[in-house]
Amino acid sequence: MMKPLPEARLSVDHRPAARYVTLDGMRGIAAIAVALYHFNIYLMPHGYVAVDFFFALSGFVLHRSYLPRFRQGLSFGRFLVQRFARLWPLFTLGTLLGAALAALAMVAGDRHAMSASDFATTLALHALMLPSPVSYPFYPWNVPSWSLMFELVANVALFALIFRLPKAALIAICLVCAAGMIPIVIDNGSANIGALWGEHGIALMRTGFSFTLGVLIAMLPAPHEHRGVNAGRVAAGLSSWLGVGGIVAIGVLLAMPVPESWTAVYDLSIILIFSPLLVLLGSRVEPVTFAAPLAVFTGEVSYALYAVHWSFIEPIRGLVRYVGLAPLPAATLFLSAMLLAAWAAVRWYDLPLRRRLTALLLRSEHASFRRIKRPAT
C-alpha cells in the first residue's frame, strides 16, 4: 500500500507550513476530475472548471504562507526561486513526456508531426516554462500546462502587487475580471477556454478572478474558538463530516451532467460561487480521522497527476481499445496508473529535484548579491 509522503509536508527550505487536510482532499479530487475529463469527457463533463478552483486555492494558500515572510523582508528574488523550484520540475517532466511522444511521431513520419525546427523552438521555450508560438495551444505537448503558466503570472502579481493593495482594490480586481469573463464564457457556451493562442485574455480573467478571491478568503478573520468543552466536541464532530462533504461536493459538481444550453451558466456558478465557498469551507473544517490519510495522499500527488497525465492518455486509450474494456473499467485503469505514476514522480523525482534546484538557485542568488555589494576598487 502506498503511504502519504510525510516529507512533502515541509517546504523545500524546511519551514513547516499549515496543513489544511480538507483542502488537500479537494485538490486531489479536482486533479482527478481534470485527468478523467481529458481521458473520457462523459465521466467528468466539467473537469476543466477544476482549474478555477486550483487558482482560488492557490491564492488562499500562498497568501497565508508568504504574507508573513513578505512582511519580514522576504526578497522578490528569493520568492521567485521558491515558486520556480516548486512549479518547474513537474512542469518539465510533463513537457519531456510529451516531447518524447512528439519525437516518436516525427520518427514515424506522422504527417501531423512537428518539423525539427519547430520541435527545437518549442523545447527551448518550454524549458523556461514559456509557451510555444509555433502551435495552436500554448503548450502542444502538455496542454494543461497553460494554467501553470498563468499560475506563475499570478504568483509574480501576488508579490509585486497584491500584497501591497488594500482589500477594496482586490475586490475591484475580482469584479472587473468577473465582468469581463461572464460574457465570454456565455458566448463560448462553456468555461472550457483559455488554453489556446488568442484566448490569453479570458485566461488572465479566470486566473485574476479566482486567485484574487482566494487571497480575499485568506484575509478573512479566523473563526472564534468553540465555547465550552462539550459544545466544542459536538461542533468538531459536525465539522469533520462537513470536511468530508466538501471533498465529495467538488467531485459531484464537476461530474454533474447538465443540458448543453445550461453549461455556461453552470460553469460560471462553479467559478463564481461554489469554488470560493469550498475553499472557505476547506479552510475552516477538517475531515473525520479515517478520511484524513486518503485526503492527504491525493493532495500530495495532485500536482504531479495534473502535470503528467496528458501524455498517458493516448497510449492507455490504445491499450483499452486493444483489450476491449468498457468505459468505466478503462477509466479505473487509467486513474490507477496515473495515481501510481504521480506518487512515484513526487517521491523519486519532484522532491529530490526541488531540493537540489532550490539550493542551486539560492547559491546563484547569493553569488549575484555579493558581486553587487562588492566595493569598487
Residue 88 scores a pLDDT above 80: yes
Q: Pick the range with the lowest mean pLDDT from 10-19, 194-203, 290-299, 341-350.
A: 10-19
**Given its phi and psi angles, is residue 324 left (phi above 0), alpha (psi -120 to 50 degrees) or beta?**
left
Does any domain span residue 263? yes
- What was the pLDDT predicted at 233? 44
The DSSP code sequence of 166-229 is -HHHHHHHHHHHHHHHHHHHHHHTSS---SBTT-HHHHHHHHHHHHHHHHHHHTSPPPPPPSSH
- What was the pLDDT predicted at 102? 96
Q: How many CB atoms lie within 10 A of CB 368?
A: 11
Does any domain span residue 182? yes
The amino acid at 170: L
Residues in the chain: 377
Q: Pick the range with the lowest mean pLDDT from 106-110, 236-240, 254-258, 292-296.
A: 236-240
Q: Pick the range with the lowest mean pLDDT from 158-162, 288-292, 294-298.
A: 288-292
Domain of 182, in residue numbers: 6-222+234-373
Does any domain span residue 82? yes
With cut-offs at 50, 70 and 90, classify the pLDDT of residue 363.
Answer: confident
Does any domain span residue 229? no
Radius of gyration of the chain (CA): 21
Question: For residue 242, what is the enclosing H or E element?
Answer: helix 229-255
Residue 230 scores a pLDDT above 70: no
Does any domain span residue 364? yes
With cut-offs at 50, 70 and 90, classify the pLDDT of residue 368.
Answer: low
Does any domain span residue 43? yes
- The mean pLDDT value of the chain amounts to 89
Does any domain span residue 227? no
Does any domain span residue 228? no
List Cα–Cα distances, 318 to 35, 190, 300, 310, in angstroms. 17, 29, 29, 14
What number is the average pLDDT over the span 203-211?
98
Cα gap 268→293, rounded to integer Å: 32
With cut-offs at 50, 70 and 90, classify the pLDDT of residue 241.
Answer: confident
What number is the average pLDDT over the span 133-139?
95
Specify the pTM: 0.90
- What was the pLDDT predicted at 374? 55
Cα gap 219→230, rounded to integer Å: 30
- What was the pLDDT predicted at 2? 44
Residue 22 scores a pLDDT above 50: yes
Residue 74 grid cell: 522576504
Tell me 375's DSSP state: P
Lookup result for grid cell 460553469: 267
Q: Coil, strand or helix: which one is 140? A: coil
Q: Work out whether the CA dihedral 183, 184, 190, 191 comes out positive or negative.
A: negative
Count how many domains the chain has.
1
- What was the pLDDT predicted at 9? 39
What number is the average pLDDT over the span 46-54?
98
Of 61, 39, 246, 43, which is closest to residue 144 (Cα–Cα)? 39
